[in-house]
Amino acid sequence: MHTKQIADMIEQKRDSFIKVSDRIWELAETRFEEYQSAELLAQTLEAEGFQVERGVGGIKTAFIGSFGSGSPVVAILGEFDALSGMSQKKGQAKEEPEVPGANGHGCGHNLLGTASLAAAVAVKQYMEENNLSGTVRYYGCPGEEGGSGKAFMARAGLFDDVDFALCWHPMGYNSIMAVESLANYQVYFKFKGKSAHAAASPHLGRSALDAVELMNIGVNYLREHIITDARVHYAITNSGGLSPNVVQAYAEVLYLVRAPKVDQVQEIYERVCKIAKGAALMTETEVEIVFDKACSNLVQNKTLEEVMYKNFQELGVPVHDEAELELAKAMRATLSAQEKATAERQSPDAPDPDMVTWLNPYTGSTIPLNGSTDVGDVSWIAPTAQCTTACFINGSTLHSWQWVSLGATSMAHKGMLHAGKVMAATAVDMLQNPELIAKAKAELKARLGDKTYVCPIPEGVMPSVKK
């Protein structure tokens, strides 16, 4: 079976893949500044015989590694960005930053990008050894965390000739990601007023901070009048300074609007803009609206998911040793009762394990995902499927110190390598069966109906680094 061949190929290079993942964990570079992480992945691909094009789509840290020629074209998506302020010492069940205030991989993207690398390398090797035609591409996708790098890449047409795409995400369980995510817009509202002495001449000032606060109040009232599945978040990114005796002349707030469909996000966004303009009118300030980024909702593809599930079943799940289970037990003791209540169980009456040891059954039914992913933009263009593997303790949450701590341990490495095997085996299955690719494409066309992909990021908006 090709699954065993694929597994053996990845196991033979496991040490080099683990080294790459751990180095990216150490670098912990945030959105669109992943210069060293991107270069490490690009150089590794070149060493494995891929042709690498850097700086694609006008993004310095985006790249594509290619092997083969012609169709079918499989895209294996990799991420490698970290989160700000999430530094944590590895492998310990105690919250303690490595460097206070520094970055950390709280979403496991060091694992994500490396498993996709392993998958691409294994597919290339299998193609060579079995004279299999087609093209395998590794897409180095920066800025998933608050940057929607794949959406910018999609706008540049980099996925237009892809026949199908594969991705994954490290989690606390093993599954096929049969989900539909939320589309989103992220936008800055920058207010400009006039400074003055807050006691001697407050009547001469026009407060930009007042405008931000009034806008936030207005949006709070708006929340009652939008669809239940929508989410509106904000962060005050500039409060106007540290002097209360000065009327703040500049202030800004960053908004993130989510909803199941792009057109729903657009409708809410337009209302938020009206509130911002109203706040500016009330305070006699000016408002500048700066579009930061956006991403589309995820389009499920059951045809591709079924192939991935079959290969996942054949490969089984990651198996953890006694030392890893002891660490999992100690780490799980740090979770709250509410976090533990989200734990995975095989049945309602089953024990509550520290690590998930089974593959969740795939039914094909769609689960709403209350988060967003720029994989959604790829899924509008080409049939796309994703899986998860148990890299973290049961019940733990994304963007937590526990994830940073475990992200460079052997239990995470096992889940990472396993995900690479699942994706590679799925890619080979599809490449060997053109009728499955045709079926997946037909399903995507049927799901979209008369709609075609339009990037939600306006032309002219370019990726920006996190402030």
What's the mean pLDDT when you consider all of the chain? Answer: 96
Of 139, 144, 137, 74, which Cα lies nearest the Cα of 108?
144
pLDDT value at residue 350: 86
Comparing 46-60, 358-372, 391-405, 444-458, which segment has the lowest mean pLDDT? 358-372
CATH number of this structure's domain 183-295, picked from the four choices 3.30.70.360, 2.60.40.3880, 3.40.50.720, 3.20.20.10 = 3.30.70.360
Residue appearing with tokens 């751990």 = 22
H or E segment and range at residue 26:
helix 14-27
Reported as a single tens digit per residue, the pLDDT across 378-395 is 999 999 999 999 999 999
Q: Quickly state the pLDDT bin for 196 (edges 50, 70, 90).
A: very high
Q: Quickly state the pLDDT bin for 369 (edges 50, 70, 90).
A: confident
pLDDT value at residue 347: 84
DSSP 229-263: T-EEEEEEEE-S-S-TTB--SEEEEEEEEEESSHH
Question: Mean pLDDT over residues 284-306, rounded?
Answer: 97
Q: Is CATH 3.40.630.10 what the domain over 2-180+297-448 is classified as, yes or no? A: yes
pLDDT value at residue 366: 84
pLDDT value at residue 308: 98
For 348, residues 6+ apart whose C-beta sits below 8 A from its C-beta are none
* Strand, coil or helix: 45: helix
DSSP 107-144: T-HHHHHHHHHHHHHHHHHHHHHHT--EEEEEEE---H
Question: Mean pLDDT over residues 344-358, rounded?
Answer: 91
CA distance linking residue 20 with residue 43, whole number of Å: 11
Enumerate helices (H) and strands (E) in the chain, giving the number of each.
15, 13
CA distance linking residue 42 with residue 149, whole number of Å: 17
Reported as a single tens digit per residue, the pLDDT across 213-263 is 999 999 999 999 999 999 999 999 999 999 999 999 999 999 999 999 999
Beta carbons within 10 angstroms of residue 39's beta carbon: 15
Tell me whether strands 73-78 and 134-140 are parallel, antiparallel or unpaired.
parallel
Side chain identity at residue 70, one-letter code: G
Beta carbons within 10 angstroms of residue 295's beta carbon: 31
Residues in the chain: 467
Of 154, 171, 80, 242, which Cα lies nearest the Cα of 402?
171
Q: Is 237 left (phi over 0), alpha (psi -120 to 50) or beta?
A: alpha
Comparing 70-74, 366-370, 399-403, 449-453, which segment has the lowest mean pLDDT? 366-370
Residue appearing with tokens 């992945």 = 41
**Domain edges within the chain:** 2-180+297-448, 183-295
Instruction: Answer whether 2-180+297-448 and 183-295 agree in fold.
Output: no
Question: Mean pLDDT over residues 9-33, rounded?
Answer: 98
Q: What percent of the chain has pLDDT over 70?
A: 99
Joined tokens for residue 269: 């966004």
CA distance linking residue 34 with residue 103, whole number of Å: 12
pLDDT value at residue 367: 83
pLDDT value at residue 466: 63
- Statement: residue 170 has pLDDT above 60: yes
Question: Mean pLDDT over residues 158-176, rounded?
Answer: 98
Reported as a single tens digit per residue, the pLDDT across 208-225 is 999 999 999 999 999 999
Reported as a single tens digit per residue, the pLDDT across 122-153 is 999 999 999 999 999 999 999 999 899 999 99
